[in-house]
Structure 1
Amino acid sequence: MTPSLLPPRLNLPHVEVLPNGLTIIAEQMPVEAISFQLWLRVGSRWEGDEINGTAHFLEHMVFKGTPRLAMGEFERAIESRGAGTNAATSQDYTQFYFTSAPQDFEHLAPLQLDVVLNPTIADGPFERERLVVLEEIRRSQDDPQRRIFQQVVQLAFPGTPYARPVLGRREIIENLQAQQMRDFHAHWYQPPAMTVTVVGNQSVGNLVETVARSFADCYRVKSPSQTLMPPLVNIPPPFTKVETTTVVDDSLQQARLILLWRSPGLDQFEKTLPLGVLAVILGRGRVSRLFRELREEKGLVTAIGASNSTQATQGMFYISAQLPAENIPMVEQYILDHIERLQNEPIPEKDLERIRTQVANRFIFGNERPGDRANLYGYYYAQIGDLEPALTYPVQIQALTAADLQKSAQTYLSPTAYGKVIALPAED
């Protein structure tokens, strides 16, 4: 599709980079709310093995008081205005956010910035919160889905930070020191690593001015000479054979089968697009090929789905099924047959048109609210420093051809070289 034929963009955010390196992305929407999100280009990938879990633990400690705000004061200010706040940590980013009425934004924005930029990380609250994080780790280890998925990522990303748990390991969190966290915050929580996305019912000028003024009031220069480059990730090559991990899990009632392939990350965004569509064709929804044949027609699985998961520099295409253990070999072969079919038979145009529209419209409908829009901008910009994927995704999906999908299946989804995780229930 040539540039002159592209439809008008649905979104027109304003991007401004301040002299201190902070990026502000602002957009006015005629909805009586404002979503403020602060994204940091730092997550568990940035940690050394010896402090694994620090980024997530720090997310907790951010809300434990600053020199200006007593512990709990920020949350009381949020709740008193009927606003909502939360945070999240991943391998590639940490995110803090609130949604408020437009008239409350100017009051709450500097409070949110203060708790993120200036956490005290005092010894007493640190020790108390350590117990909370350790309990969160224990609960995650008690969750069979999370245990199995950890086996999947370890097989997909061996020897890389992506294979480590975001929450960290118990023995590391038990021995982590508050000063190590203070040093981590001072090094990484710097303006060049930060993106603020703010969307709602004020002019772009007002949104940008409020964020810039609030940031200038809160930020204290710590160590501006330090580099903020992320650690290099040695991306593992595609599988060259079938590599299998088998585990027995006492909590399972049925077996799990996960087949996985390594795929490009967000830094190769155009290569991820056809893989996302292939996931929909294979295993997203009741009309997908694997769901229709293996669950509805043959009854070989209880559940089945496909996804193309992407981090900043690495991705993973995987197909996951819940099924009786005796059906595993047959289901695996059916999955591989479907992949070979994608490689050898172009998708009929009438089917492709329906799927392209489905994928593009889901994206559009899922980004209609201020919080959705702010999240979309922050997700891409914080990880790859580029908004184009967020702005052109539907157009690029609609431009994909049957040949594009066929080539992607041939390139990334080998029927003879892939990872396989089998989780079996304990025998009676």
Structure 2
Amino acid sequence: MRIRIEPVSRAFLIAALVHFLIGTTLGALMASQVTWWDALSPYHAELNPFGWLTFLIYGMTYAVLQLFASLRVPWKGLPWLHFVAAEAGVVLIIFGDLLRRPLWVHWGWFFQTSAGILFLIAIISAVATSRKARKSQPTISATEHLYVNSEMEWPASFAGFHVELKNDEIRDTDRVAKRGTSLALVVLIVATLLASAEGIVKGGDPWLSSDRIRVLLYDGWIAGTVLSVSLHLFPRYRPTIAISPKIAQLAQSIWFIGILLAGVLPPGWWLHRLGERAIGLSFAVLAAMYLIRMSSAMRQAQQAVKLAWGIAWTFAFVLGISQTFGLDPLSLPAIHLLFLGWITTLVYGVGYVFFPHLLRRAPAFARLATPQVILSTVGAAMLILGMIGVGSGRNSLFNDVLAIGGVSATLGFFLFAMQWGMKRIAHED
């Protein structure tokens, strides 16, 4: 049978793609004309973390929980209320800033905070309902309940991805991943509440003005969720080559201690700087584990998928090592290593597997999947190198590198978006 994915998951994914089309276009314009940075950066900074990655996390979480854990939110309207609140937050902040309407911006922060809280309520209610159902039907084992979707018709994109695993094969890594998802969600709630409070008290844009909140948001909520989702997905390619649960748990503990230190203590304190380095160390440790086991674990996966995973964790390793040795996590190179190099490239790898099922369409240009990943990677690398060069004062050469990188990364994402926005080309097979 083919399982029905709730439409709200697709709504989040489609909105995420639309937001990033706008956000990455603004990024390309900023890379081409550095004099536009001040004017465009507030919109770019809102769309990428909140409109693109956060929406993507919301949509994928709803879908993955339904696909692999048979979890559904008991109140049908709650996920849609969550979607409306999240979208209202993005729209009000963007247009409030554009039209100089501070009240709209304040309401935007309110809705973004509410979206995180609604998401937490939705996930908790789904888990609670599932547990209640298991207790009322003791004849159904936990394994049977969690994997009732094993008879689904999975698309060809799931080559090498095991969807019929027994619960004990991935139990330990899943436990670490679930704890990481919960911790990241708590960090999001704290960050958005603090941001709203700062906005009310101090005015301005707290997402850009408060370093601690940005660390909570970027390295806490977004990176923490990506680390956890990856830990859920990777063992399902080949359980015997999975990440060690003990190493994953150690890295998760280092990450969370770092988030507490860097997200709570003032930036001037040495413990704050130690927290930033600890976060980087956790990234480097997990990235190294993925890179060591990637070729064996993903032997049967599509070429574009293997390439995207490998490149993504290479970016993560570079970011982790650089941050461990003192790179400011809020510097432009670090932010783009995180968002564009690591997470967006990983989205391509995950997207080519899951999007055909979630969006109910195959890639329009299947043969261009690998070139698309390469184009995006070259663009991201050049963009990051350009930022490093411009920051060092060598503007004449690196301005061109920055511009070419921005355009290449944008074209790479446009090609990815076209894969799902156009009908499949028949001769691709």
Using structure 1 for the length normalisation, give the TM-score. Answer: 0.30
Q: Give the TM-score normalised by structure 2.
A: 0.30
**Of the two structures, which has the highest relative contact order with CA contacts closer than 8 Å and spacing of 6 or more?**
1
More strand by share: 1
The structure in which a higher percent of residues are helix is 2
